[in-house]
Structure 1
Amino acid sequence: MSEPTGKYSITMPRDIAEAAKARSGPSGLSAYVAAAVARQIERDNLNEIITVAEAEHGPVTDDEVQALRDQLHQARSRQTERMRGGTSAA
Structure 2
Amino acid sequence: MSSSKKYSVSLPEDLAETVRSQVGPGGFSAYVAEALEQRVAMDRLREIVDDFETDNEPLTREEIDAARAVLRHHRRSSADNAAA
Unaligned runs of 5+ in 1: 74-90
Aligned residues: 68
Equivalent residue number for residue 61 of structure 2? 65
Partner amino acid, structure 2, of 1:12: L
| CA–CA distance in structure 2, aligned partners of residues 18 and 30 of structure 1 | 13
Equivalent residue number for residue 24 of structure 1? 23
Shift in Å at residue 67 of structure 1? 6.8
Distance 1:67 1:24, change over 3 A: same
Partner amino acid, structure 1, of 2:46: N
Equivalent residue number for residue 37 of structure 1? 36
| Greater Cα radius of gyration, structure 1 or 2 | 1
Shift in Å at residue 28 of structure 1? 1.1
Shift in Å at residue 20 of structure 1? 1.2
RMSD: 2.6
Identity %: 32
Query: Which is further off, 43-52 or 18-27?
Result: 18-27
Q: Per the alignment, in what secondary structure is the counterpart of residue 44 of structure 1?
A: helix
Per-residue CA distance 1:56-86 (angstroms, 9 max, x = gap): 10212xxx3147648x98xxxxxxxxxxxxx
Q: Which structure carries more helix by proportion?
A: 2
- Please give the TM-score of this superposition, normalised by the length of structure 1: 0.63
Unaligned runs of 5+ in 2: 70-84
